[in-house]
């Protein structure tokens, strides 16, 4: 095993505070054999962040630091304090020299009094006195009409939480300059090419409160009246139509769109060196809106032929696999766009950390495309850890193998154990099995889990085809599954007639799309999925059923620091064409839990029979609505309502009974999604239902 990476992916990253301490400990341990660096005075956590940064930047294995390195470290620390708003910070440097003596000096950031030379230290302590933190307290605008003051103010000062740390709105000259540049870019994006933005500040030296005054001169808006081309006589390359550009505001984005559209037309026909110069020529009338003519001058350069594609760095990969991803042949026009698509196809194999493309020679009538490939590790092992209210602690291991047989095949083995379940999953992936984007997978799986009223056991195999659909930001799948479904320790109301073991063979078809801005912390956008599973004796199944599910979730901003989230899930099981209506218990719906209706444990919201025992549902309709309010940049509070309708018989479709839960909770944002603590109160509990439930989990609920 050439490469082994161990990552506590769901534990360390989830507990951000502990993760920081771990990183600090690792950095300190790495420095133990080299020079000792300590930082003090910026606060417990910030001191350790800065100390870790110095260890990474200066090198952990250095046995000593000279004067230049100590000054570099001091400049880094003073710069970091300045970005945190401490504009009057001072620093004492205590250096333990190689002879054991100690030297204490004050750092002068102007270098009017530089550190003594020569100096060689085996340990350095940076003692910080930050002083008053300067924060942006108010932002006032003059002359701004195009952009709302609320939108513009957000570029200078964050109000995206109920309680903001002082660091979130720390003042520094560089930050104000970046904010002014952002406002200027927004104005020019809207066609105000002549806009100017100037800032001045007034600071209270005692309190640190800073008022920022922004003076804006917008000038007239530029609108495109016409677009024309200038090129060499006899140039016959078809040019893009100009109708879609007329009437639009003249902006850097539109300039780029015009230039790239022209370049694309020439790239496709073998002109990789084409030059495009685009200028706007506005009319001289200083009106509120100035029409402008856009002229694109084209210098095509020589027409180039493609040589032979070459690959560098792929030591363990068969060249035939790589060549199938390059669609152009030697002697064809050198199409830069198609070769970039080839680079994308190579990166989609999932075994390269980087794929670079260059040409040899860099100029000339014939050029060879050279793909520089950096292979990733063949083996990777990760430790898994998580927590949920029902299964409690979960732990496991995931092992990945890449580029099997040199064919870019991959495999993944995952073993997970929790307080309620044991599972194993082995997946073998063949990329681009048929065509460019049709991947094939084979999977073996096993699961044993204690449900609310029975012990679920599922073992089987699956083969699937998957195709990515860029148009919807998702994929479509088709699969065949053969599995043994068992239920033991059955305390369901239907236990007298439930089959204890059935072999089920089914075809499953699914499609889904994702337009969220962030799948781990969605703030806007939507995602959806639809799936139908068909089991039939003609496929080798002992049961006949049709299981259909549809889910959609939508996220949008509601104000500066609030978000509205809504999710809908509907599932129904039919048994059309079955002479024996036996339906596996494992395939029925058992709603409830931290990602369902949150006033119940997992499966506890299922229908109940006349004896009060649970019955699996054939139809469920779940609606989740929640309002999230940012409290700090990492903490947020939520209030939610979950509504569930369900029916155990299709005669009562879509629902026979309804359950409602309202609740509230808090969330802490991590790299892998929010850590959630929520309480759901049941508004209309049935006999034997809980009045409410606490839920602790990791990840977004829908």
| Residues 625-654 pLDDT 10s | 999 999 888 899 999 999 999 999 999 999
pLDDT at position 59 is 62
Verify that 204 and 348 share a domain, yes or no. no
- Is the pLDDT at 471 greater than 90? The verdict is no
Verify that 486 and 624 share a domain, yes or no. yes
- CA atoms of 229 and 245, how far apart (whole Å): 13
Verify that 537 and 565 share a domain, yes or no. yes
Verify that 208 and 337 share a domain, yes or no. no
pLDDT at position 21 is 38
Mean pLDDT of the chain: 90
Of the candidates 676, 653, 650, 678, which has an alpha carbon nearest to the alpha carbon of residue 664? 678
Verify that 158 and 211 share a domain, yes or no. yes
Distance of alpha carbon 44 from its chain centroid, rounded?
29
pLDDT at position 581 is 61
- The boundaries of the domain holding residue 143 are 135-217
Cβ atoms within 10 Å, residue 115: 19
- CA atoms of 555 and 627, how far apart (whole Å): 10
- Is the pLDDT at 391 greater than 90? The verdict is no
- Locate the DSSP E strands across 309-437: 310-312, 352-360, 366-375, 379-388, 392-404, 409-418, 421-430
Distance of alpha carbon 75 from its chain centroid, rounded?
33
- CA atoms of 573 and 589, how far apart (whole Å): 9
Verify that 111 and 145 share a domain, yes or no. no
- CA atoms of 445 and 468, how far apart (whole Å): 24
β-pairing, 135-142 vs 65-66, is unpaired
Taking residues 526-552, what's their average pLDDT? 96
In a domain, 683, yes or no: no
Tally of structural domains, the chain: 5
pLDDT at position 24 is 40
CATH number for the domain that contains residue 331: 3.10.20.310
Q: Which DSSP letter does residue 104 get?
A: E
DSSP string for 534-583: EE-GGGT-S--EEEEEEEEEEEEE-SSSEEEEEEEEEEEEE-TT-SS---
Residue matched to tokens 């899930």: 569
Of 283, 299, 315, the position where a domain reaches its end is: 299
Residue matched to tokens 């771990």: 22
pLDDT at position 582 is 75
Verify that 368 and 501 share a domain, yes or no. no
pLDDT at position 163 is 65
Of 327, 354, 375, the position where a domain reaches its end is: 375
In a domain, 196, yes or no: yes
In a domain, 635, yes or no: no
* Residue 559: partners with Cβ closer than 8 Å, 6 or more residues away: none
- CA atoms of 474 and 459, how far apart (whole Å): 28
In a domain, 507, yes or no: yes
- Is the pLDDT at 504 greater than 90? The verdict is yes
pLDDT at position 162 is 64
Verify that 239 and 282 share a domain, yes or no. yes
DSSP string for 423-484: EEEEEEEETTSSSSSEEEEEEEEEEEEE-SSSEEEEEEEEEEEEEEEGGGTEEEEEEEEEEE
pLDDT digits (tens, 9 = 90+) for 261-280: 999 999 999 999 999 999 99
Phi, then psi, of 363 in degrees rounded to 5 = -140, 170
Of 331, 352, 375, the position where a domain reaches its end is: 375
Q: 435 pLDDT band (50/70/90 cuts)?
A: low
pLDDT at position 178 is 95
pLDDT at position 579 is 63
327-330 CB contacts, 8 Å cutoff, 24+ apart: 328/369, 330/306
Among 296-300, 382-386, 446-450, the range scoring the smallest mean pLDDT is: 382-386
Q: Choose between 113 and 253: higher pLDDT.
A: 253
In a domain, 54, yes or no: yes
Cβ atoms within 10 Å, residue 101: 8
The helix (H) or strand (E) run that includes residue 642 is: strand 635-647
Verify that 62 and 192 share a domain, yes or no. no
pLDDT at position 580 is 59
* Residue 589: partners with Cβ closer than 8 Å, 6 or more residues away: 571, 573, 606, 616, 617, 618, 619, 620, 646
pLDDT digits (tens, 9 = 90+) for 333-379: 999 999 999 999 899 888 999 999 999 999 999 999 999 999 999 99
> Six-digit token pair at 657?
């009974």
In a domain, 13, yes or no: no
Verify that 149 and 177 share a domain, yes or no. yes
Q: 210 pLDDT band (50/70/90 cuts)?
A: very high
- Is the pLDDT at 430 greater than 90? The verdict is yes
Taking residues 413-441, what's their average pLDDT? 91
pLDDT at position 432 is 82
In a domain, 412, yes or no: no
pLDDT at position 6 is 33
* Residue 364: partners with Cβ closer than 8 Å, 6 or more residues away: 304
Among 91-95, 165-169, 270-274, 466-470, the range scoring the smallest mean pLDDT is: 165-169
CATH number for the domain that contains residue 108: 3.10.20
Environment class of 350 (CB within 10 Å of its CB; exposed 0-12, middle 13-18, buried 19+) = middle
Verify that 255 and 335 share a domain, yes or no. no
Distance of alpha carbon 464 from its chain centroid, rounded?
26
In a domain, 37, yes or no: yes
Verify that 346 and 444 share a domain, yes or no. no
CATH number for the domain that contains residue 604: 2.40.160.50
Q: What is the dihedral of CA 9, 15, 20, 22, to 10 degrees?
A: -60
* Residue 601: partners with Cβ closer than 8 Å, 6 or more residues away: 389, 390, 452, 592, 593, 690, 693
**% of the chain residues with pLDDT over 70:** 93
Cβ atoms within 10 Å, residue 323: 13
Q: Considering the entire predicted model, what is its pTM? A: 0.77
Q: Which DSSP letter does residue 8 get?
A: B
pLDDT digits (tens, 9 = 90+) for 122-140: 899 999 999 999 999 999 9
pLDDT digits (tens, 9 = 90+) for 656-674: 999 999 999 999 998 888 9
């Amino acid at each position: 095993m050439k490469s082994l990476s161990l990552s506590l992916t769901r534990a360390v990253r989830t507990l951000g505070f502990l993760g920081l301490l771990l990183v600090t400990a690792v950095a300190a341990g790495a420095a133990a054999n080299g020079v000792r660096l300590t930082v003090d005075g910026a606060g417990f956590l910030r001191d350790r962040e800065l100390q870790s940064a110095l260890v990474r930047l200066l090198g952990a294995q250095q046995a000593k630091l000279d004067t230049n390195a100590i000054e570099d470290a001091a400049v880094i620390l003073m710069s970091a304090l300045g970005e945190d708003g401490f504009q009057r910070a001072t620093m004492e440097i205590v250096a333990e020299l190689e002879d054991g003596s100690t030297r204490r000096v004050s750092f002068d950031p102007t270098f009017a009094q530089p550190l003594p030379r020569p100096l060689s230290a085996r340990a350095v302590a940076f003692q910080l006195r930050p002083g008053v933190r300067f924060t942006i307290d108010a932002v006032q605008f003059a002359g701004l009409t195009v952009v709302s003051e609320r939108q513009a103010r957000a570029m200078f000062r964050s109000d995206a939480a109920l309680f903001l740390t002082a660091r979130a709105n720390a003042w520094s000259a560089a930050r104000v300059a970046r904010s002014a540049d952002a406002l200027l870019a927004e104005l020019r994006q809207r066609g105000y090419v002549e806009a100017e933005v100037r800032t001045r500040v007034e600071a209270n030296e005692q309190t640190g409160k800073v008022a920022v005054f922004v003076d804006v001169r917008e000038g007239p808006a530029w609108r495109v009246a016409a677009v024309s081309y200038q090129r060499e006589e006899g140039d016959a390359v078809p040019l893009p139509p100009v109708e879609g550009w007329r009437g639009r505001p003249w902006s850097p984005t539109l300039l780029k769109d015009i230039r790239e559209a022209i370049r694309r037309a020439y790239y496709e026909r073998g002109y990789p060196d084409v030059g495009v110069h685009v200028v706007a020529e506005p009319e001289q009338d200083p009106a509120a809106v100035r029409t402008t003519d856009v002229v694109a001058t084209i210098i095509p350069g020589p027409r180039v032929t493609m040589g032979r594609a070459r690959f560098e760095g792929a030591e363990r990969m068969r060249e035939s696999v790589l060549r199938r991803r390059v669609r152009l042949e030697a002697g064809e026009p050198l199409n830069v766009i198609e070769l970039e698509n080839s680079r994308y196809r190579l990166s989609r194999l999932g075994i390269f950390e980087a794929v670079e493309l260059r040409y040899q020679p860099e100029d000339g009538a014939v050029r060879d495309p050279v793909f520089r490939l950096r292979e990733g590790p063949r083996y990777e092992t990760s430790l898994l850890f998580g927590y949920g209210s029902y299964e409690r602690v979960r732990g496991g291991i995931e092992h990945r193998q890449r580029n099997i047989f040199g064919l870019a095949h991959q495999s993944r083995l995952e073993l997970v154990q929790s307080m309620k379940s044991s599972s194993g999953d082995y997946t073998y992936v063949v990329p681009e099995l048929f065509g460019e984007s049709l991947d094939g997978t084979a999977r073996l799986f096993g699961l044993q889990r204690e449900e609310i009223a029975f012990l679920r056991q599922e073992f089987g195999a699956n083969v699937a085809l998957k195709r990515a659909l860029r148009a919807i930001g998702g994929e479509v799948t088709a699969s065949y599954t053969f599995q043994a479904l068992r239920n033991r320790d059955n305390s369901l109301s239907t236990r007298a007639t439930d089959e204890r073991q059935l072999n089920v063979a089914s075809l499953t078809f699914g499609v889904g799309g994702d337009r969220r801005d962030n799948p781990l912390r969605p703030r806007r956008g939507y995602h959806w999925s639809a799936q139908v599973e068909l089991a039939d004796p003609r496929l080798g199944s002992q049961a006949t059923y049709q299981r259909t599910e549809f889910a959609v979730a939508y996220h949008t901003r509601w104000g500066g620091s609030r978000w509205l989230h809504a999710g809908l899930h509907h599932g129904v099981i039919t048994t059309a064409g079955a002479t024996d209506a036996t339906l596996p218990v494992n395939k029925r719906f058992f709603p409830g839990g931290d990602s369902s209706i949150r006033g119940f444990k997992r499966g506890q919201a299922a229908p109940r029979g006349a004896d009060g025992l649970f019955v699996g549902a054939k139809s469920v309709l779940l609606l989740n609505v929640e309002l999230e309010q940012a409290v700090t940049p990492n903490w947020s509070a939520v209030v939610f309502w979950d509504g569930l309708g369900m029916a155990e018989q299709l005669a009562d479709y879509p629902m026979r009974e309804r359950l409602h839960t309202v609740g509230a909770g808090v969330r802490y944002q991590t790299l892998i999604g929010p850590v959630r603590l929520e309480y759901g109160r049941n508004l209309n509990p049935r006999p034997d239902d809980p009045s409410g439930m606490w839920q602790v989990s990791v990840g977004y609920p829908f």
